[in-house]
Structures are given as C-alpha cells and as structure tokens.
Amino acid sequence: MPQIIINIYCQKNRRLKCNCDKHTKKRYAKKRRRCRKKTAYKTLYEVNRIKINCPMHPSISVRPIVKRYFFVAPYDINLTDENVIYSNQFVDDHGEPITEFSDFGQQGYFNLYVNGVLQEGKMYHVNSNALTLAATGQHISKGTPIIVESVGFTTELVYK
C-alpha cells in the first residue's frame, strides 16, 4: 500500500523577546544598556516524519438487492374500486409464504408486473404489509400472475 510521508522540521531556537521594563521603546530611547536577562529559547515541533498509509484508488461499489414476490389471482379481480392484496398471500422466489414485503425506504423502490407487463407507478401503491391496486375500471382475470419486485441498493467503499 502506498504511503504519504509528511515532513515537519524542528524549529528550535525560536527566540522569545525580553519583556523587561528597560527594553520598552518609551523608557529605553535615551539609554542603551544590555539587559542582563538571558534570551529564552522555545522548541515548537519535535516531529520529523509521519507515515500515513493511504489507499491508491478507493472506489464506491453499488450493489442491488432484488426480492420478488408472486401471487396468482384465484378469482377475477374487478378494479372499479381500490383493491388490497395483503403480503401474506404472496410467495417468494423459493415458493415459501412471506409475512411482509422488503421495504428499502429511500434506498429502493417497488415494481409491479401484471401478467408479465410492468405497470405505471400511479396504478399501485406498495408498503411492507400490502399491495393496493388503483381503481381503473378494468379487471384482472383469474390465473393472472401478479409480481411485486422490491429493489434496494447498498454501497460500500472498495480499496484496491
């Protein structure tokens, strides 16, 4: 892994000024005498090298998480009014019943497929407990597959 080296050099012998009354400009303008106080020295930094390990090219990896839920209409669904299909009527990719849809919030979204056709966003609403189909005046025939797809995203930093 590459290293960033920062050099900070020691600044020894930085003089501190004498603050005695003899050396103020007003009183010392006429007489020039040496102050008997010794000049003080102060060390500011003592560090010579700092090594910092830094990754060469960090990158961001975005990975999708996709969950699909299936429902086959056991009867004709009339869409003159809103219809609600609860999540416990769906099965997952493995054919096992579920209790709720995976909701990824702001990091994801839902898609609805009716008979394999992606539906417009205004035609449905999905939360973790149910799928609500909007009233369109149409109907869904018995045996039609309804698929809810929940898509979410995760991000992680990858150091090469």
Classify residue 97 by its DSSP letter.
B
pLDDT of residue 68 exceeding 80: yes
Distances (CA, A) of 72 to 43, 129, 142, 149: 80, 18, 8, 15
Cα distances (Å, whole numbers) of residue 159 to 1, 61, 63 = 10, 10, 16
pLDDT 10s digits, 1-31 = 444 445 444 444 444 455 555 555 555 555 5
Tens-digit pLDDT profile for residues 101-138? 999 988 899 999 999 999 999 999 999 999 999 999 99
- Higher local confidence (pLDDT), 144 or 28: 144
State how far the Cα of 108 lies from the Cα of 144, in Å rounded to an integer.
Answer: 26
Q: How does DSSP assign 125-142, residue by residue?
A: EE-SSEEEEPP-S-EE-T
Q: What is the pTM of this model?
A: 0.62
* Rounded Cα–Cα distance for residues 97 and 71 (Å): 10
